[in-house]
Amino acid sequence: MSRLLLGFLALAVLPGWADDWPRFLGPHHDAKSAETGFAVDQAPRLLWSCPKGRSHTAPSVVGDRVVLAHLREGEETVDCLEAATGKRLWRHTTPVTPGQSYGIDDAPRSGPVIDGDLVHVCGFTGELVCLRLGDGSVVWKKNLDREYGKAPFFFARGSCPLVWKNQLIVNVGSKPCVAGFDKGTGELLWGVDHPWNASYASPVPAILHGRERVLVFAGGMSDPPNGGLLVIDPEKRRIESEFPWRATNFASVNAASPVVVGDGVFLTEGYGPGGVLLQFAPATMEPSVRWEAPGFSAQFSTPVLQDGLLFGFSGASESRAELVCQEVASGRELWRDGNPLEVEFEGRRMRVFLGRGSLLAVDGKLLGIGEQGTLVWLAPDRTGMKVLGISQLLHRPETWGIPALAGGRLYVGENNGEDSRLHCFLLPKR
């Protein structure tokens, strides 16, 4: 079947349930999609696949445009692709010299953020660039390391910026620790200093007791280790409160983004205290612990909230990671499951672990992607992991980046060195 016909068939079924995915964690910063009507017991159909370099980022999707950051041939690359076909529309490149830590090469871990006709990308070497979505032309750019001082990282930068009104908020990790830039010009509007440096968690907006705040889960490579939640008032441009939460292990970082739970915030990290649900005093916004979950230790994937339950992958290795279900009201762990699943792939049966996978909340269900490329539809069940549908999309290690779901298409990126690909699957509709 030709690429043109595949694109036509894809477009033919999309009207009525299209939704953009303009940033990491989706349109509302919570890994939730408003799209409905999927046939969870049917396997997705591959629409197209295109080569890319190394990266652990998700693409961002607005309308008919897909924007992806990756490292190829010594260049940090931002590609804009046609959503229906994967055809490249434009490319922006920056020459870089990647480093290495613990035998792991640096590569992009921060995805593009699309806001109207602007695309903001925080590169892993500190290159903060604003591009036109239409043609990839540079609106403005600056290098955070050169302008504000180099921040310490194990694997270079990996936190996505946040667009909040006219501001682009970045966990800079040096001086300032967190900054707000004019999203259209790059002018520094404000900065706040703090000893907790940049993490791999992305800032998220929140409304706590009726007030707009920005949550920054800071804390990366530091000796002695430190980090935790910074609650920032972006209007007054100040840190309103803080809560320390990080492993005492030097070789650790905070990487899962905060999860807003009503007027509270759930934090989780992978090598120390695990998870905690915070509540905030209405008058002062000072945090206190509502409950702790030492066994909810997400290494990097952000949990999702569904039907009063928190779901997320806990554990620091593929074979030992488990999907955990935590009840918000009581703080009780209801179940955990790390058992392998049986799948069929390319004519053979095999057992796979979901490992350190990613979750989306979709149509009252959970859509998961395991780190070997396994897609599962799960019921948000209180009694155990209930699989509604399963299919092996691909079989590659380090399928870690959270997928993007837009217009019925699921975009899944693999990371296999220079032999990596971005895949676009069409999810069947009921």
- pLDDT class of 392 with cuts at 50, 70, 90: very high
Both structure tokens of 197:
């440096």
In terms of Cβ atoms closer than 10 Å to its own Cβ (0-12, 13-18, 19+), residue 348 is: exposed
Q: Determine the pLDDT at residue 12.
A: 38
When divided into structural domains, the chain yields a total of: 1
427 within domain boundaries: no
Q: Which amino acid is at 93?
A: T
pLDDT in tens, 200-238: 999 999 999 999 999 999 999 989 999 999 999 999 999
> Given a cut of 80, is residue 135 above it in pLDDT?
yes
> Given a cut of 90, is residue 360 above it in pLDDT?
yes
Q: Report the predicted TM-score, pTM, of the whole model to 2 decimal places.
A: 0.94
Q: The tokens 């948000």 sit on which residue?
A: 380
- pLDDT class of 380 with cuts at 50, 70, 90: very high
pLDDT in tens, 237-296: 999 999 999 999 998 999 999 999 999 999 999 999 999 999 999 999 999 999 999 999
Give the integer Cα–Cα distance in Å for 159 and 253.
12
> Given a cut of 70, is residue 1 above it in pLDDT?
no
34 within domain boundaries: no
142 within domain boundaries: no
List, in order, residues 6 or more apart from 348 with CB less than 8 Å away. Answer: none
Q: Determine the pLDDT at residue 207.
A: 98
> Given a cut of 60, is residue 415 above it in pLDDT?
yes
Give me the mean pLDDT over the 140-167 stretch: 92
Q: Determine the pLDDT at residue 4.
A: 37
- pLDDT class of 18 with cuts at 50, 70, 90: low
177 within domain boundaries: no
262 within domain boundaries: yes
Average pLDDT of every residue of the chain:
92
Give me the mean pLDDT over the 368-379 stretch: 96
Put residue 76 in one of left, alpha, beta given phi > 0 → left and psi -120 to 50 → alpha. beta
Give me the mean pLDDT over the 2-29 stretch: 62
349 within domain boundaries: no
Give me the mean pLDDT over the 309-315 stretch: 97
107 within domain boundaries: no
DSSP state string for 133-185: TTT--EEEEEEHHHHH-PPP-SSS--PPPEEETTEEEE---SSSSEEEEETTT
Give the integer Cα–Cα distance in Å for 124 and 106.
8
229 within domain boundaries: yes
> Given a cut of 60, is residue 2 above it in pLDDT?
no
Domain carrying residue 210: 196-201+204-256+258-298
- pLDDT class of 155 with cuts at 50, 70, 90: confident
Please state which of the ranges 25-34, 129-138, 174-183, 311-320 shows the lowest mean pLDDT. 311-320
pLDDT in tens, 114-129: 999 999 999 988 999 9
Give the integer Cα–Cα distance in Å for 351 and 342.
5
